[in-house]
Chain A
Amino acid sequence: SYVLTQPPSVSVAPGQTARITCGGNNIGSTSVHWYQQKPGQAPVLVVYDDSDRPSGIPERFSGSNSGDTATLTISRVEVGDEADYHCQVWDRSHPCVFGGGTKLTVL
């Protein structure tokens, strides 16, 4: 089965830029989606189709995808961005797959 690899944790100071990676074999050939999950809450879609944002998601959230790595970038990080972030892919070759999740800590 297809495996998505995320770093367990990323730390960043407020106002700086956080980059969370999602590794997978030739992941650049499929669409990647990202979810934010705050403690005790359900996941929320923050980026879909590699780099699009749903309505209501700040422009500070952006994404890219190429080769074997997709990246979620959060600019001008705020304390309220502290959460777990999950990447996800789904195409005809393999069913819905999530990465292991990355805990973003805002120092």
Chain B
Amino acid sequence: DVQLVESGGGLVQPGGTVKLSCIGSGFTFRTYSMNWVRQAPGKGLEWVSYISSTSSTKNYADSVEGRFTVSRDNAMNSLYLQMNSLRDEDTAIYYCARGVGYSYLLTWGQGILVTVSS
């Protein structure tokens, strides 16, 4: 079965940092683009970041540009999101999602909660 499992969330103070990880299994990780999508409590989905299969292309939402960095290690079937200068409004469940190019998100992880609060 295709599976994505996120880890690394938790409570962090405003201005702090956290690094999320996502491990994929059941598919050829290195051939798929990957994304991070977040959902604030009681709100809709917000795309955060995209990384191509070879890491040659990375894109970010305006709301996180310059603060978040996406990366991947295809040898480890892993996706990462380094989150710096965190703000209250970054509080959300963060999902990693397997993408089909610049198109749809085929498979989602179960999500990991990041809470930014003092």
CB 8 Å contact bits of A11-26 with B (1 = contact, 0 = none): 0000000000000000
Complex Cα spacing A49 to B107, Å: 15
Complex Cα spacing A48 to B105, Å: 9
- Complex contact A44–B108 (CB within 8 A): yes
Is B109 located at the chain interface by the 8 A CB criterion? Answer: yes
**Within the complex, which residue of B35, B50, B105 is in contact with A45, where a contact is CB–CB below 8 Å?**
B105
- Complex contact B104–A33 (CB within 8 A): yes
Is B76 located at the chain interface by the 8 A CB criterion? Answer: no
- Complex contact B109–A98 (CB within 8 A): no
**Within the complex, which residue of A1, A49, A91 is in contact with B102, where a contact is CB–CB below 8 Å?**
A91
**A44 — which chain B residues lie within 8 A by C-beta?**
108
Complex Cα spacing A104 to B110, Å: 21
CB 8 Å contact bits of B96-116 with A (1 = contact, 0 = none): 000010111111111100000
- Complex contact B108–A42 (CB within 8 A): yes
Complex Cα spacing A33 to B106, Å: 10
A43 to chain B, nearest CB (A): 5
**B108 — which chain A residues lie within 8 A by C-beta?**
42-44
The count of residues in chain B whose C-beta lies closer than 8 Å to any C-beta of chain A is 22
A36 to chain B, nearest CB (A): 11
Given the contacts A42-B111, A95-B61, A100 and B44 also touching, CB distance less than 8 Å:
yes
- Complex contact A96–B110 (CB within 8 A): no
Complex Cα spacing A100 to B43, Å: 8
- Complex contact B110–A42 (CB within 8 A): yes
| Additional 18 contacts, C-beta under 8 A, given A31-B103, A42-B109 | A33-B104, A33-B105, A35-B45, A42-B95, A42-B108, A43-B45, A43-B105, A43-B108, A45-B105, A45-B107, A48-B104, A88-B104, A90-B102, A92-B102, A95-B47, A96-B50, A96-B102, A101-B45
Which residues of A does B touch, CB under 8 Å?
Answer: 1, 31, 33, 35, 37, 41-45, 48-49, 54, 86, 88, 90-92, 95-101
